[in-house]
Chain A
C-alpha cells in the first residue's frame, strides 16, 4: 500500500491535531498553522486525486486490523479527493481574503478559537467526503455543525447570536432526523458500512421485507441532510446565518459546508442505499420539485432583500435548489450537472461574498443598496470581481455559471414528465437572477453622487488576490469545461460501481 493512499486519513487527523494545537497556542500561531494545514490538505488531496486518476479506480482504506463489516474504513474514488481539494482550496482563499475582517469582527481573546473552528470544519468536511461508514458520517456531521456554529457565533455584535440560534434549531432537527434514519436502517439491515449496507438493502428490497421501514429510513436520512444543507422549504436559517457571519465564515458556510452535506447525501444514495432502491422509493421526485421550488422561491426572496449580503445569501439558497434538482433527476448526467453546480457555486459564491463585503467597506460598512451606489469606483478590484461573479451567477456563456445550466437543460430533454418543470424552473430562475444580480452589478458602477460622503479606498493585496484566483478559475471553467466535465463523469461512473 503506497503512502499516497494514507493521505486521506492523514489529512483528516492532521486537521484534528491542528485544531488541538491552535487551542493551546497563542493566537498569532493559529493563523499560520491553519494556513499551513489548508495548504498541506490541498497538496494531499491533489496527490490522491492524481493517484486515483492515474489508476482510473478508487480504493478502500481499512481503518484498523479488522476487515470491512467489523472495522471502519474510508474510501477514495475520484469524487472524494476532488471535493476535498475543492473544499481545502476554497477555505484557504476564504481565510486569506477575509483575514482583515476576522481581525476586526472577532475579539482578540477568541481568535485562536476561530482557527480551531476552521481546522475542525476542514477535518469534518474531509471525513464526510471520505467516510464509508454511516455512523462515522453522523459523528462528523455533528462536528461540522458545531464548528460551523462557532464560525458563526464568534463574531462580536451584529445579530450573529440570533442567527446562530436559528441555525442551531434547524441543524438539530436535521441531525435528529438523520440519526432516526440511521437507526431504522441499522434495525432492518444490521450493517453500518456502505458496501455491506448496499448489498443488504438490495436483498431486503428484492425480498420485500421491511420495505416500509426502509422507505421511511431513506426519507428521514434524505430529509435530515436536506434540512442541513438548506434545501428549499427548510432554508429559513440560511440567509441569516450566511449574512451575519464574518466574511471568511460566510464564504466557508456558503461555499463548502452546505455542499458537504449534499455530497454526503449523494454518497449515501449511490453507495449506501443504492441508486435503484433510492429511485424506487420515489424520494428523487420530491427532491426535484423542492429543488425547483428553491430555485424560484429563494430568487424571489433575493429580489426583495434590502441588504447586499442577505441578497447573496438568498441566492445561495437558490443555487442549492439547482443542486437538489440535479440529484432529483436521478440520472448519471443529472448528477454530473449537480456536481458541476457544486464546483461552480463553490468558486463563485466566496468571490461574491469577499468582493461584496469589500464594496461595503468602501461605503463605511453599509450594506444597503442606496449606500452601495457607485461603490465600484471607490474599490475598483472588488467592483470588477463582483461584476464577474454576478454575471457568472446569471449564467452568461464563457463564465462558470453557464456550464451547469447548460448541462441541466440538456439533460432535461431526455427526461419524461420532469422535463417541463425543470425547463420552466431554469428559465424563471435565470430571469430572476438577471433582475437582482445585474441590477446590483449596474448599481455599483453608477456615477457617484456629487455629495457622496464615502472616500475611495486602496485595497491591500490579500483582499483581492484570492478573489482574482477564484475569478480565474471561474473563467477557466467557463471557457474550457472539458477536462472538468470528463473528470466528473468518471467520478460519477466510479461512484455507482
Chain B
C-alpha cells in the first residue's frame, strides 16, 4: 500500500510520465513497412519541436487565462445557485414535474422527459454510442497486417485465485439481477436504460476478466452482441418514428400511460428503456473486448 501511495504522490507531483509507464510493457514490434523511419536528423526535429512548442505554449496560456476570466465573470452573471425564481424554472420544467405522471405515466420525471417529451434527443444519444462503437471497431480491428496480440501471461490470472473466482460466481448473478431491476424500473425509480445497461455490462466485463476473454468470447458470441445492439437501435428508431408520425397526423398512439406506479405502465417508456439498456450494455462490453483482445 505504501508503495502504491508513493507512486500516486509522485504522479500528483508530475514526476511520472504515463507514456514511460506504458513503454515498459513490451509491445509487439510493428512490421517493417509500418515503422517510422526519420527522414531528417532527430536532433533537428527535436529542436524545431521545442521552438514551436514555446510559441504555442505562450499563445495558449494567454488564451486559457482569458477564457478562464471570461467564464468566471459570466458565471457571476448567472442567476443565483438554487434560486427558485431563475429563468430555468419556467412553465417547461413545471409541466414535466406537475403533469408528467399524468401525461407519460412515468413517476420518474427525468425518464418521462428523456423518453417521451424529448425522445428525439435520446434517439440521437443512443446513436452517438453506436457511432463510437463503429469507430472503436474500425480502429481496434487489425486490418490486412496482423499484429501479434499480447499473450495471456501479461495479465494477472484471476481464475487461479480461489477467492476471486468463488466471489465472482456469487456476485455476477447479483449484479445481473440488480441491472435488470434498474433497467425495468427506470420509469418508477431513479435509474433507467443508461445506468441499467452500464450495470449489466459490468457483470459481463467481470466475467470476461476472471474467466478469460477467450471463454467470454465463446460464451457471448460476436454476432449476438452486434445483432442485439442493432435490433435494439432499430426498435427504438422505428417505434419512435411511428409514434412521431402518428402524433403529427393527430392519431393517438397504441401505447397509453396506463396506471402510474405499475411496472407495465408509461406506454413506450419501458420498452425504450430496455432497448437503450441493451445498446449501452453491448457497447460497453464491446469497448472492453476491443481494448482487451482487439476483437469482439
Q: Do A and B bind each other?
A: yes
Looking at the assembled complex, report how far the CB atom of A62 sits from the nearest CB atom of chain B, in whole angstroms: 6
> Which residue of B is nearest A120, CB measured?
B131
Per-residue 0/1 for A2-34: is the Cβ within 8 Å of any B Cβ (1 yes, 0 no)? 000110011001001101110110000000000
- From the candidates A6, A20, A64, name the one contacting B120 in the complex (CB within 8 A): A64
- Our count of residue pairs bridging A and B at CB distance below 8 angstroms stands at 174
Which residues of B sit under 8 angstroms from A62, Cβ to Cβ?
A: 247-248
Give a binary string over B124-150; 1 marks a CB under 8 Å from any A CB, 0 the rest: 110110111011011101011000000
Q: Say yes or no for A157: interface residue by CB 8 A criterion.
A: yes
Also in contact, A110 and B128, with CB within 8 A (given A65-B247, A212-B73): no
- When distances are taken between beta carbons in the complex, the residues of chain B under 8 Å from A110 are 137-138, 141, 143
Is A486 part of the contact surface with B, judged by Cβ < 8 Å?
A: no
**B135 is contacted by which of A24, A150, A187 (Cβ under 8 Å)?**
A150
Is A127 a contact of B124 with CB atoms below 8 Å?
Answer: yes
A9 to B230, CA, bound (A): 20
Asked whether, in the complex, the Cβ of A143 is within 8 Å of the Cβ of B87, the reply is: no
B128 adjacent to A213 (CB under 8 Å): no
Q: Is B213 on the interface with A (CB-CB < 8 A)?
A: no
- Within 8 Å CB of B74, what residues of A? 184, 212-213, 216-217
Are the CB atoms of B135 and A71 closer together than 8 Å?
Answer: no
Measured between alpha carbons, how far is A61 from B92 in the docked complex, in Å? 19
Whether A66 and B117, one on each chain, are in contact in the complex, defined by CB atoms closer than 8 angstroms, is: yes
- Grouping DSSP codes into helix (H, G, I), strand (E, B) and loop, the A interface class, with mixed when no group exceeds half, is helix
Q: How far is the CA of A220 from the CA of B243 in the complex (A)?
A: 35
Q: Which of A131-139, A454-462, A473-481 contacts B (4 or more CB under 8 A)?
A: A131-139
Among the listed stretches B152-160, B167-175, B231-239, which one makes contact with chain A, having 4 or more residues with CB under 8 Å of it? Answer: B231-239
User: What's the Cα separation between A331 and B216 when bound, in Å?
Assistant: 61
Contact residue among A24, A65, A153, A154 (Cβ-Cβ distance under 8 Å from B253): A65
Does residue B6 face the partner (Cβ distance < 8 Å to A)?
no
The proximity string for B residues 61-79 relative to A, scoring 1 for CB distances below 8 Å and 0 otherwise, is 0000000001101110111
Contact (A136, B238) CB under 8 Å given A186-B88, A187-B78, A210-B79: no
Q: Once the chains bind, are A17 and B92 in contact (CB under 8 Å)?
A: no
| Nearest-neighbor residue (CB-CB) of B122 within chain A | A139
Task: Say yes or no for A69: interface residue by CB 8 A criterion.
Answer: yes
Using Cβ atoms and an 8 Å threshold, which residues of chain A touch B75?
Answer: 213
Select the stretch in A89-97, A188-196, A367-375 that faces chain B.
A188-196
Please state if A16 and B248 are interface contacts (CB–CB under 8 Å): no
A5 to B34, CA, bound (A): 52
**Contact assessment for A1 and B248 in the assembled complex, using a CB-CB cutoff below 8 Å:** yes
Q: Are B226 and A24 in contact (CB under 8 A)?
A: yes
Task: State whether B77 touches A213 (Cβ < 8 A).
Answer: yes
Complex: how many Å from CA A6 to CA B245?
7
Q: B137 touching A113 by the CB < 8 A rule?
A: yes
Residue contact A188 to B244, C-beta cutoff 8 Å: no
Name the residue on B nearest A211 (C-beta). Answer: B77
Residue of B nearest to A68 (CB): B92
Q: How far is the CB of B101 from chain A (nearest CB, A)?
A: 14
**In the complex the two chains form, is A24's CB within 8 Å of B230's CB?**
yes
Cβ of B118 < 8 Å from any Cβ of A?
yes
For window 87-101 of B, CB contacts with A under 8 Å fall at 87-93, 95-96
Q: Is the CB of B144 within 8 A of A147?
A: no
Bound: A161/B73 CA distance, A: 39
Complex interface bits, B105-133 against A, C-beta within 8 A gives 1, otherwise 0: 00000000000111111011101101110
| Residues of B contacting A189 in the complex (Cβ-Cβ under 8 angstroms) | 87
Given A64-B116, A71-B117, A154-B138, A9–B244 Cβ distance below 8 Å?
Answer: yes
Shortest distance in angstroms between A233's beta carbon and chain B's nearest beta carbon? Answer: 10
Provide the main secondary structure of the chain B interface. Answer: helix
Are A150 and B249 in touch, CB under 8 angstroms?
A: no
In the complex, A72 has a CB within 8 A of chain B: yes
Shortest beta-carbon distance, A28 to chain B, in Å? 18
Tell whether A117 is near chain B: CB-to-CB under 8 Å. Answer: yes
Contacting pair A143 B131 (CB below 8 A): yes
Give, as a whole number of angstroms, the nearest-CB distance from B286 to chain A.
12
Query: Is A314 close to B, CB under 8 A?
Result: no
| Chain A residues whose C-beta falls within 8 Å of the C-beta of B117 in the assembled complex | 64, 66, 70-71
**B86 interfacial contact with A, CB 8 Å:** yes
CA distance A374 to B22 in the complex (A): 49
Chain B residues near A210: list those with CB within 8 A. Answer: 77-79, 87
Name the residue on A nearest B73 (C-beta): A212
* Per-residue interface assignment for chain B, residues 209 to 239, with 1 indicating a CB less than 8 Å from any chain A CB and 0 otherwise: 0000000000000000011011001100110
Would B121 and A72 count as touching, CB distance under 8 A?
yes
Verify if A156 is at the interface (C-beta below 8 Å from B): yes
The residue in chain B whose Cβ has the minimal distance to the Cβ of A180 is B71
Considering the chains assembled together, what is the distance between the CA atoms of A296 and B284 in angstroms? 46
- Chain A residues near B87 (CB, 8 Å)? 187-190, 200, 204, 210
Contact A63-B237, Cβ < 8 Å, known A142-B128, A200-B87: no
Note all chain B residues with C-beta closer than 8 A to A71.
Answer: 117-118
B230:A23 contact, CB within 8 angstroms? yes
Q: Is A149 an interface residue (CB 8 A)?
A: yes
**A409 within 8 A of partner (CB):** no
Once the chains bind, are B118 and A72 in contact (CB under 8 Å)?
yes
A140-B123 Cα distance, complex, nearest whole Å: 10
Mask of A101-129 contacts with B, CB within 8 angstroms, 1/0: 00000010110010011001001000100
- Closest chain-A Cβ to B84's Cβ sits at a distance in Å of 13
Closest to B245 in A: A6
- Residues of A contacting B34 in the complex (Cβ-Cβ under 8 angstroms): 157
Contact (Cβ within 8 A) B131 A147: yes
Closest to B232 in A: A20
A143 touches B241 (CB 8 A): no
* Chain B residues whose CB sits within 8 angstroms of the CB of A191 once the complex forms: 90, 92
Q: Does A438 make an interface contact (CB < 8 A)?
A: no
Given contacts A109-B143, A210-B78, is CB(A20)–CB(B241) below 8 Å?
no
Within 8 A of A (CB), among B249-295: 249-250, 253
- Find chain B residues with CB under 8 A from A147 CB: 131, 134-135
| Extra pairs beyond A23-B130, A146-B131, A210-B78 (5, CB < 8 Å) | A9-B245, A62-B248, A110-B143, A143-B128, A212-B73
29 cross-chain CB contacts under 8 A: A1-B248, A1-B250, A6-B245, A6-B248, A16-B233, A20-B237, A21-B234, A23-B230, A24-B226, A24-B227, A63-B120, A64-B119, A71-B117, A72-B119, A72-B120, A107-B144, A110-B137, A117-B131, A117-B138, A120-B130, A120-B131, A123-B127, A135-B121, A142-B128, A153-B138, A184-B74, A190-B87, A204-B87, A210-B77
Closest 4 CB pairs of A and B: A107-B143, A139-B124, A216-B74, A146-B131
A residues apposed to B, CB below 8 Å: 1, 5-6, 9-10, 13, 16-17, 19-21, 23-24, 61-66, 69-72, 107, 109-110, 113, 116-117, 120, 123, 127, 133, 135-136, 139-140, 142-143, 146-147, 149-150, 153-154, 156-157, 180, 184, 186-191, 200, 204, 210-213, 216-217
